[in-house]
Amino acid sequence: MSNMTYKKIKSLLIKEEQRERVMYCVFKCSISDLTVDSHATIRKERERAGNRVADRVKQTTQRSLMYSVRRALSRVVGGLLGSGIAGRIGREAVRTAMSEAQRSIHRGGSYKFSKEEKRAAVEEAFRKVANRFLWDSRHNRWISAQLGEDVTTDFVRQMESSPILWKYDQGVMARMLAEITNADGIISQEEKEFLSGFFPSEVGTVDELSEKPILSRVELEETAKNESRETMLMVAWALALTDDLDVEEENRLAEYEQGLEIPGKRANEVKKFARDFIIDRAIDHFYSKGAWTADSKQQVLELAEKIGVVSDEAERIEIKYRKRSGLV
């Protein structure tokens, strides 16, 4: 995307630190003081060229699209459950660095990269958190999305205004996500790896959470009696929508709604937030690769129909995405 070049995001950078094959970044809006951590693996130009070819093949499949959406959901929501975004990024980065180090040893390689390769990693790190910022075309700069009107998704706004703060509530939220994933009685290795991005070590592993009894009405009622309950339901819906929603999952989601004592009208609103977020991230999947075409638009519309978003609304979500990203 033209506005996500190193030159245009440099004014946000307050930290740009290489540790072996991982670039750690901290981005800060000078107006609102919003500070966001991110990281990305530094890759040699030949690796990035190979990845671009692979991406062009993968992006033609619905499976690749949903995988990308799930990764985005994991990144955005991960900070809700316990240790915060910075801690989660640290854990992921350590795993990435260890993996990359092993590959480098096998290749006999080192951690020397060109300036262009390092800058490409900074750009990738920014793309992971770009939904937290808005392109200010008037001043040709990125600023906090909080400063603009209608420039962040309702999903992110709900999470930021009503976070899940209490350890008990975080544990309940983790169990909700594990139950939704395990609704058919099977959790694949891919799903375990995906869910691990949500859970801090304190709440247990995916396997441990899956073995716990089904959440009771009383356990749900004992969560904090505030709007964070709506956040919990919204996130559960978002996770369910990234896979084929079946009757068991819908029934469980209805039980969460009742146990968390969320009025029907508000429950429908946060369900819409979840649906719109899924479409927004599907749109980003293509735009971030410079691949928004008639075919990719059709894939997004098909996804929208599948999860209950009408085509006109999906188009509005795409327009809001362009506004937020400074695209024509």
Tens digit of each residue's pLDDT (9 = 90 or more) over 136-192: 777 788 888 777 655 568 898 898 889 898 889 989 999 999 999 888 777 877 787
Print the domain residue range for 118: 1-42+85-149
Q: What is the pLDDT of residues 289-304, one digit of tens each?
A: 788 999 999 999 999 9
User: Which tops the pLDDT comparison, 11 or 202?
Assistant: 11
Q: Does 233 lie in the same domain as 167?
A: yes
Q: What is the pLDDT of residue 107?
A: 44
Q: Does 250 lie in the same domain as 212?
A: yes
DSSP bridge pairs for 35: 28
Q: What is the number of structural domains in the chain?
A: 2
User: Is the per-residue pLDDT at 9 higher than 80?
Assistant: yes
Q: What is the pLDDT of residue 62?
A: 52
- Measured CA to CA, the distance from residue 121 to residue 40 in angstroms comes to 6
48 falls within a domain: no
- Measured CA to CA, the distance from residue 127 to residue 289 in angstroms comes to 11
Q: What is the pLDDT of residue 188?
A: 79
Q: Does 135 lie in the same domain as 222?
A: no
Q: What is the pLDDT of residue 116?
A: 93
Across residues 19-24, what is the average pLDDT? 91
Task: Work out the angle between the directed axes of helices 228-241 and 167-181 (0-180°, nearest 10).
Answer: 20
Q: Which two structure tokens, joined as six digits, stand for 74?
A: 């994991």
- The answer to whether the CB of 286 falls within 8 A of the CB of 1 is no
pTM of the entire structure? 0.71
Q: Does 173 lie in the same domain as 140?
A: no
Distances (CA, A) of 171 to 58, 81, 154, 251: 35, 8, 24, 21
User: Is the per-residue pLDDT at 56 higher than 80?
Assistant: no
- Where does a domain end: 126, 149, 172? 149
Task: Work out the angle between the directed axes of helices 228-241 and 62-77 (0-180°, nearest 10).
Answer: 160
Q: What is the pLDDT of residue 101?
A: 46
Q: Which residues of 288-313 are buried (b: 16+ CB within 10 A; e: fewer)?
A: bbeebeeebeebbbebbeebebeeee
Tell me how far apart the terminal alpha carbons of the chain are, to the nearest angstrom. 12
* Three-class SS state of 108: coil
Q: Does 104 lie in the same domain as 174?
A: no
- Measured CA to CA, the distance from residue 196 to residue 187 in angstroms comes to 12
Q: Does 312 lie in the same domain as 193?
A: yes
